[in-house]
Amino acid sequence: MSAASAAVAPAPSRLRLGPLVLIAPAAILLAVFLVIPYLNILLMSFRAPGQGTPYGEGFTIANYLRFFSDGFYIRQVANTLWIGFLCTAICLVVGFPVAWQLARGSPRFRAIGYGLVLSPLLVGIVIRSYGWTILLGNNGLINRTLTNIGLIEGPLPLMYNALGIVIALVHVFLPFMILPLMAAIQGVDPSLETAARSLGASRLTAFRRVTLPLCMPGIQAGCILVFVLSLSAYVTPSLIGGLRVKTMAVTVVDALIDTFQWPWGSALALILSVTGALIVVLFARLTRMKWKVART
Amino acid sequence: MTVVRIESLSKVYGAVRAVDRISVEIGDGEFISLLGPSGCGKTTTLKMIAGFEEASEGAIRFDGADVVRVPAEKRDIGMVFQNYALFPHMTVDQNLAFGLEMRRVPRAEMRSRIDRVLEMVQLSGFSGRYPSQLSGGQQQRVALARALVIEPRILLLDEPLANLDAKLREEMRVFIRDLQRRVGITTVYVTHDQAEAMTMSDRVVVMFGGRIAQVGAPADIYERPQNLDVARFVGQVNLVSGTVASADDGTLAIDTAFGRAAAPARDGLHPGQAVTLSLRPEAIGLGAPGKAGAPGRVEARYYSGSLIDYRVALDGGETLHVQSFPTVAFAEGDRVSVHAPADRLWLIGAAQ
């Protein structure tokens, strides 16, 4: 008996190198190019502003005090969050039906649709954003067409405002919403809806009570992706927003590169990151799925 | 409770008639099985009764009222799916409550009905579990409970045991049948497993190619198959050739290797004609060589505990599958005499 169990028992614990070796490249990459820079930014945000130099002598919390005492920057963070929220909400509402068709539609539609959804990602983000300025500008294609056919008197304000930024960002980030949604919908057994209907639920109720909650992992992933990407987007907001509307990312870059205030820019960058992270954590808590955790 | 009448019901996909003008009446509280190979139209028929497939032609009547135009959620059916289709994000309780909520049953009544049904399926104490925390058999019983707790007019089961292992499957057959008797609900059960259909049903509907081949009690289907397809699909069968010796007074006398068999006269069968008869393996007896019967030799022997299966080659050339109790034991290569009672020889029709 004891001989048999000894034969089955695992070999004496030996350091298993395999998994460590496999995660090493990613771990090193993250440590060197993410964690260390972050620590650097954190340190920088507490440095004193410099006179003619990027930063001065000694440490201070003046940068954070400056932020919290100036309503202008708080409003700008709020504005950035609002744009992020709008992008996420619109991507979710617009993307869900597309993801549904990609997951449940005919195979031919799925092949074509998948290609169409991915195609924006094949064009560089700078080019796409310039494309939007051509469409949305006061003298742009949309305004000119509408004026020419007499629908509007003067140009509609489509650019240099939050609306333009949201339109362009939704276009850029839609695939990041659709793909996780599609994967989630594919994971939901269609017979569950049939079962719900056999129990007396209408199609709408079956969707609301059964399919939608089961798609939650995909909704969660898609929303977090789009929200985070919208907060940190730089190229599109700076091209479409111009000087009139600035998101935090644009202001941070201004501070770091144009006005050369590294401590101030670092503090702004950290405030944006932490705020975004808090919202993501809160969102993840609120949409927590008990049934996902409950495993024996 | 509910009598279901299916009247020349069809389902047409393009040029294919998946279900072709079938008619059958299912009595109140009756347990009926739709039995057939895959693609025979049994599942499509069930889906039409449930309302998940639209009927192309014909009527489905619940107590006389045609429900063909009634949407699935208004038909008041309880359905059990092959993959159980339990809601993974709901506990056992919530799964059972779902149908009751749709029917706006008051909270207190809901509780007592759920408790009662859970007790019926022997799952009291599991109400807080999620489906992922249950075994296959337990999930199966939750699915059954969820269909029954709404007290539907009819219960529909779509191959509910197909995903269970053999032992559990046999237990669940008995369990479902006993439960159905106790509740007394009209039940339609779809399966491709003839043993399942036979043990559970009051009547079996055998389907091939979208049509009903035979409807009858399990013993009818087994002992008196109406054609070759049914004989072959339901249990194992030996096909024995014979010749019509005479046709008098509405009775045919048929000569076979096992002696003379009788059958009711049939159109198109006349003396001298070659016919095919069915003979079930367990109806055949083996005896020591030299005794009455056709001489033969044991080619192969398969022991399965309660029974022994033999493959016996008759000296006349035919090969028979014989099933007997282990009390009669022969070895491979033994000479035997093979006999069968004439009344177990069942006339299928003219030889083909």
| Backbone dihedral region for residue B104 (phi beyond 0: left; psi -120 to 50: alpha; all else: beta) | left
Question: Length of chain B in residues, anyone?
Answer: 352
- Look at residue B157 in the predicted model and tell me its pLDDT: 95
CB B28 within 8 A of CB B187: no
Residue in chain A nearest B51 by alpha carbon: A198
- CB within 8 Å: B52 and A191: no
Nearest by CB to residue A296, choosing from B88, B90, B133, is: B133
Average pLDDT over residues A254-280: 91
Domains: count for chain A: 1
Distances (CA, A) of B328 to B217, B285, B291, B324, B346: 31, 9, 15, 7, 25
Across the range B22-34, mean pLDDT stands at 95
**What mean pLDDT is predicted for residues B224-248?**
89
Cβ contact (<8 Å) for A205 and B102?
A: yes
Q: Which of A80-89, A159-168, B197-206, B331-340 has the lowest mean pLDDT?
A: A159-168
Q: What SS3 state is found at B260? A: strand
Query: Average pLDDT in the B258-271 region?
Result: 83
Residue A242 lies in a domain: yes
Within 13 Å of residue B74, how many CA atoms lie on the same side as its CB? Answer: 6
Task: For residue A2, tell me if it sits in a domain.
Answer: no
Q: What is the mean pLDDT of residues B272-281?
A: 91
Q: Are A233 and A162 in contact (CB under 8 A)?
A: no
Instruction: List the structure tokens of B255.
Output: 């000569």
Residues of A in contact with B90 (CB under 8 A): 291
Other CB atoms within a 10 A radius of the CB of residue A291 amount to 19
CA dihedral B191, B195, B196, B201 (to 10 degrees): 100
pTM for the model stands at 0.81
**pLDDT tens per residue across span A183-223:** 999 999 999 999 999 999 999 999 999 999 999 999 999 99
How far is it, in rounded angstroms, from Cα A111 to Cα A93? 22
Alpha helix (H) residue ranges in B151-297: 166-183, 194-200, 218-223, 228-233
Return d(Cα B285, Cα B132) in angstroms, integer.
Answer: 50
Confidence at B270, pLDDT banded by 50, 70, 90: confident
Q: What Rg do the C-alpha atoms of chain A give, in angstroms?
A: 25
Task: State pLDDT tens for residues B102-157.
Answer: 999 999 999 999 999 999 889 999 999 999 999 989 999 999 999 999 999 999 99
Which domain, by its residues, includes A159?
A: 72-295
Among A206, A111, A259, smallest CA distance to B98 is for A206
Q: Is A232 helix (H, G, I), strand (E, B) or coil?
A: helix
- What's the CA gap between B96 and B288, in Å, rounded? 61
Domain presence at residue A288: yes
Contact at 8 Å (CB) between B203 and B29? no
What Cα–Cα distance (Å) separates residue A170 from each residue in A217, A223, A235, B151, B240? 21, 12, 14, 49, 75
- Judge whether A277 lies within some domain: yes
Is residue B187 predicted with pLDDT exceeding 90?
A: yes
Model confidence band, residue A4 (pLDDT cutoffs 50, 70, 90)? very low
User: Is the Cβ–Cβ distance between B96 and B146 less than 8 Å?
Assistant: yes
Mutation target among A188, A199, A290, A292 for the B interface, most CBs of B within 10 A: A199
Residues 251-290 of A with CB under 8 A from B: 289
Confidence of residue B269 (pLDDT cuts 50, 70, 90): confident
In a domain, A134, yes or no: yes
Q: How far is residue B254's CA from residue B272's CA, in Å, rounded to a whole number?
A: 9
- The pLDDT tens digits for A217-262 are 999 999 999 999 999 999 888 888 877 788 888 989 988 888 888 8
Residue A9 lies in a domain: no
For helices A71-104 and A162-186, what crossing angle results, to 10°?
40
Report the residue of chain B nearest A292, measured CA to CA. Answer: B89
B102–A200 CB contact, under 8 Å: yes
- Name the CA radius of gyration of chain B, rounded: 24
CA distance B106 to B97: 11
Quick check: is A57 in a domain? Answer: no
Residue A289 inside a domain? The answer is yes
In which band, very low, low, confident or very high, does the pLDDT at A6 lie, cut at 50, 70 and 90? very low
For B90, the closest chain A residue by CA position comes to: A291
How does DSSP classify residue B85? -
Structural contact between residues B5 and B57, judged by C-beta atoms closer than 8 angstroms: no
For B4, list phi and psi in degrees, rounded to 5. Answer: -105, 125
Residues of B in contact with A194 (CB under 8 A): 52, 72, 79, 81, 85
Please spell the DSSP secondary structure of A171-231, one letter per residue: HHHHHHHHHHHHHHHHTS-HHHHHHHHHTT--HHHHIIIIIHHHTHHHHHHHHHHHHHHHH
Domain containing A83 — which CATH number? 1.10.3720.10
Token pair, residue B319, equals 């090969």
Cα–Cα distance for residue pair B44/B9, rounded to 1 Å: 11
Q: State residue A188 phi and psi, 5-degree precision.
A: -95, 120
Name every residue whose Cβ is closer than 8 Å to that of residue B149 and which is 6 or more positions away in sequence. Answer: B96, B99, B100, B113, B114, B117
Which residue bears the tokens 């201004």?
A254
Mean pLDDT of A11-38: 83
Two tokens, residue B221: 């289907």
pLDDT tops 60 at residue A295: no
Mean pLDDT confidence for A155-181: 89
Of B50, B89, B156, the CB nearest to A213: B89
State how far the alpha carbon of B37 is from the alpha carbons of A237, B217, B317, in Å: 62, 19, 31
Chain A residues within 8 A of B104 when measuring between CB atoms: none
Q: In whole angstroms, give the CA distance from residue B230 to residue B53.
A: 27
Contact B98, A199 (CB under 8 A): yes
Spatial CB neighbours of A56, under 8 Å, sequence gap ≥ 6: A47, A48, A49, A50
Measured between alpha carbons, how far is B338 from B320 in angstroms, rounded to an integer? 9
From B188, B105, B84, select the one nearest B149 (Cα to Cα): B105
pLDDT value of residue B322: 93
A194: closest chain B residue by CA: B52
Residue A13 has pLDDT above 70, yes or no: no
- Quick check: A12 pLDDT over 60? no
User: What is the C-alpha separation between A206 and A196, in angstroms, rounded?
Assistant: 6
DSSP 8-state class, residue A258: I
pLDDT, tens digit, 9 for 90 and up, residues B57-95: 999 999 999 999 999 999 999 999 999 999 999 999 999
Q: Which residue of B has its CA nearest to A200?
A: B73
How do residues B282-327 score in pLDDT, each as one tens digit? Answer: 999 998 888 888 899 999 999 988 999 999 999 888 899 999 998 8
